[in-house]
Structure 1
Amino acid sequence: MRKYIVLPFLLVGYCCYSQTSTKAILLEQLKTTHNKADWFVPVNTAIEGLTPEQANWKDSSGNHSIAQLVNHLIFWDLDQLEKFKGRKKDPVNINNDDTFSPATQATWDGTVKRIDSVLTAWEQAIEQADEKTLSSSYSTIAHINAHNAYHIGQILFVRKQQGSWNPEKGVK
């Protein structure tokens, strides 16, 4: 017997009815925003080789720096991962603007490692989850993937503005 799943439009690249598992789709999306180049540049490539000064650089319009964008992703990806794992947390009354924190000379390398470890933890959590759990969470995870892709685009835009992006890495 064939099993068909209906997926929301956010699960890009698949027909509305597919024999592909929810797990496979979510993992593919996550990996392409994490460390697997596909239709766009993943975050590991987008932030690779940045100095702390480049990571904290802001344009004259006051847009977010790369470090602020990465810290924002870390905060929300980790927050949602904890919820996905069923870990109860004390309610956090945080203003979203506060999640866009800069990095220091001393913390930038750790920030780069942290985004990688959070996304790796997401991949492991999805791999270990059963289809029932994923079926009840796929929309949230798909939105996380879209959110990550959105901010990665901003990171590349900032790198292009500052002249630190090498188009050989995927985006001209």
Structure 2
Amino acid sequence: MQGLTAEQARWTDGKGNHSVGQLTYHLVFWNKRALERFKGKTPDKFSGNNDETFNNFTAEQWADIVKQFDQNMTEWEKAVEAADDATIAKNASLIAHVGTHNAYHIGQIVFVRKEQGVWDPAKGVK
């Protein structure tokens, strides 16, 4: 996400695939909900329409969405580090799902950026 303009974050290939902004918006939505559950809270009501977790992104939100993603990942790291073994064991499936879900969509983000021609191979993926 680093270095992308809002316009670049909005770019799609025109084939129905999501933009980097939509993918990031989706991750922010689900990562926040999962962290609330990890902390023993009840997430806000959700309609169940997963399309909303992608399609409510606008370019005007980009800087804030990136900030939210970074903050949420930092909060996740701190929460897991602070958790006792029983909490980790109880939430092992949730933690695994969050990691897998993020890896999947971040892979898509790299792919979209490569397609768009705005990926720096020095970032580790050539």
**Gap change, CA 1:51 and 1:136, over 3 Å in 2:** same
Amino acid at match of 1:158: V
Instruction: Please tell me whether residue 103 in structure 1 is matched to residue 58 in structure 2.
Output: yes
Aligned to 1:120: 74
Are the structure 2 counterparts of residues 73 and 90 from structure 1 closer, same or farther at C-alpha, using a change threshold of 3 Å? closer
- Structure 1, unpaired ranges of 5+: 1-46
Residue 65 (1) aligns with residue 22 (2) = no
Partner of 1:158: 112
Query: Quick one: structure 1 residues 80 and 111, their matched pair in 2 at CA, closer, same or farther if it must change by over 3 Å?
Result: same
Amino acid at match of 2:57: P
Matched to 2:10, the amino acid is N
Note closer, same or farther for the CA distance 1:116–1:162 as it changes in structure 2 (3 Å cut).
same
**Aligned partner of residue 107 in structure 1, secondary structure:** helix
In 2 relative to 1, CA 167–125 (structure 1 residues): closer, same or farther, beyond 3 Å? same
Question: Residue 87 in 1 paired to residue 87 in 2?
Answer: no
Higher Cα Rg, which structure: 1
User: Aligned partner of 1:135: which letter?
Assistant: A
Contact 1:103 1:111 in 2 (8 A): no
1:90 to partner: Cα distance: 4.4
Task: Provide the identity percentage.
Answer: 53
Change (3 A) 1:49 1:62: same
CA offsets 1:42-72 (integer angstroms, 9 cap, x no match):
xxxxx11000011000112010000000000
Counterparts of 1:93 and 1:102 in 2: how far apart (Å)?
17
TM-score after normalising by structure 1: 0.70
- Structure 2: which 5+ residue stretches go unaligned? none
CA distances 1:127-158 after superposition (whole Å, capped 9, x unpaired): 11110010011111011101100000100110
Retained in 1: the 8 A contact 2:33–2:43? no
In 1, the alpha carbon distance for the partners of 2:75 and 2:62 equals 20
Which one has the bigger helix percentage?
Answer: 2
- Equivalenced residues, count: 125
